[in-house]
Structure 1
Amino acid sequence: MSSAASPLMQMGPSATPGDDTDLRQRTNAAGIHGLGRIELTVKFGPRSNLVIVIHQITNLPVEDDGELPDPYVKLYLLPDRSKDSKRKTDVIKDSCNPKYDERFEYSIPSNELTRRTLEVNVVNKKGLLFLQRSPKMGQVHLDCGLLDSNKVTQWYDIAPAMDEDDE
């Protein structure tokens, strides 16, 4: 995994209140960049498909003017940044802790996983101007060649967004 994707804990019975991952979660609830954390399930399925479930985001920052964001999540399976590769969740209005539980799939042969990166963008849809681009709040990059079948659901720190024209 790249440095932008640092899983902090796996949900489930292994995360007991006394262990190190729980302490890290409590002391760094907004992630190492202060942009929040996202819970994802990412696994390679039996039908040559990459399955992604966007569960939830916690501790997104409020806007500069104090307003709550209207976040959604946009996915790309890089290096392909086309409309065919793009997937999006619904927008959750006025929330720093949105819950999605939305599932997405990409058909991909297993031997191609090592050449692919899943880009997860958190975007703020807030605004009245429908032609205005929605600003990225942050992102996570996951190297698909390094997926761990034992840790399919994990929390990731949201990192600052890299400026790339993806529309």
Structure 2
Amino acid sequence: MLSVRKATLKDYNIILQIYEIAREFMIRMGNPNQWKRTKPTAEQIRTDIDQGICHVIYDESGIHGVFALCLGDDPTYKIIEGGQWLNQNPYVTIHRIAGDQTVHGILRAAIDECNQYEDNIRIDTHKDNKVMQQALTKYGFKHCGVIYLLNGEPREAYQKVLKS
């Protein structure tokens, strides 16, 4: 069974390895531009850990996944094109989710953890990340439109309302 906890600096090296595996997987799956070979940066990972938003997903054999769980409004989600958010209620955001490709259920574990904080989860992904888009649909996320990152890059935006 997978569990989730906040990451510590002791987890840093395994987190770096997981992101490397995820970048290579995305490239193989036809999504070479979302993270390229450089994102998330080592600085971003350290910042996420320092801010307490980096979470690891693990079982008895070790850490298998990582994600940032962000509480509160995401500034890049204020404007959405080609649709609308399902509601304007408080939400949590999943960013930078990745797995080591050795276990199933990384996204499910992240969703379950987010459910501890809010009934709304938002997430975005690159238009070429078909694997993530399929997983989001599988877990009940609805495509809401397109948002733009602070650097201007577009992302497909999704939301899941856990309770009505």
User: If the length of structure 1 is used for normalisation, what is the TM-score?
Assistant: 0.26
More helix, by proportion: 2
More strand, by proportion: 1
Flag the structure with more relative contact order, 1 or 2, with Cα contacts below 8 A and sequence separation at least 6: 1
User: If the length of structure 2 is used for normalisation, what is the TM-score?
Assistant: 0.26
